[in-house]
Amino acid sequence: MSDLERELEQELHRVLDAMAARPIPPRRAIPARVGFRALLGGTGTALAVKVLTGVAVAAAAVTVAGAATTGSLNPAVWGQAVSEQVIKCKQEVANSGQHGIGDCVSPFASQHGATVSSATRQHGNDNTNGNGSSNGSGNANSHSKDKIKEHTPPPKTSSTFPPTFDREPVDQVNPHRLVTISPQP
């Protein structure tokens, strides 16, 4: 062993043995992140998110499709209401001697269609996955579309007064008199 090696060993023992005499600190706690990572990461999670999103979209689509076909968010109720209205209209037509029940059924269909349309539009707005744009338009008025052609369009509810076209005041050339202001004493 050379002098350098001997000196090296002595110095290392002098320095590091003193360090070794110090108390051993408690071991640092190790965060348990493996399970958390398994829950939140990986392809399985991505697949699960996609499946859940698909299920949510499919459920919304089925609901809106039902509303568009039957005209009601509750098809049973809507179908029953139409049937009752048709029977009622037939009785009225028979009593009054008119032809066809279109005039009688149409307002009911329009009123109900408007209600359903706003409901489906609201449903579409609540949808946060970006598919809401095509949900609200629906076929709410389609139940009475053929009949409505024979009638005057319903009045717009947004404006109750017809627009006015009042002329705006036009400045004439040199309309003002020149005013001279004399300094007050």
Partner 1 sequence: MKQAESERYEPGSDADFERLYRNTYRRIVGTLIPLVRDVSTAEDCAQETYERAYRGWAKWRPDAPVEAWLHRIAINVAISDRRYQRLRQAGEVIRRLGRPTPGTDPAVVAERSVVVQAMKKLPPKQAAALVLRHYHGYTNREIAAALDVPEQTVASRLAAARRHLQAVLGK
Residues that bind partner 1 (CB under 8 A): 2-5, 7-9, 11-16, 18-22, 24-25, 27-28, 30
Q: How far is the CB of 3 from partner 1 (least distance, A)?
A: 7
If the CB atoms of residues 15 and 173 are measured against partner 1, the closer one turns out to be 15
Distance (Å, rounded) from C-alpha 173 to C-alpha 59? 69
Determine how many CB atoms are found less than 10 A away from the CB of residue 11.
10
If the CB atoms of residues 24 and 76 are measured against partner 1, the closer one turns out to be 24
- Are the beta carbons of 138 and 149 closer than 8 angstroms? no
Q: Which two tokens stand for residue 64?
A: 């809106």
If the CB atoms of residues 1 and 173 are measured against partner 1, the closer one turns out to be 1
If the CB atoms of residues 11 and 84 are measured against partner 1, the closer one turns out to be 11
Q: How far is the CB of 56 from partner 1 (least distance, A)?
A: 38
Q: How far is the CB of 36 from partner 1 (least distance, A)?
A: 15
Of 152, 81, 71, nearest in space to 114 by CA = 71
Of 131, 136, 107, nearest in space to 119 by CA = 136
Q: How far is the CB of 21 from partner 1 (least distance, A)?
A: 7
Q: Which helix (H) or strand (E) holds 49?
A: helix 42-70
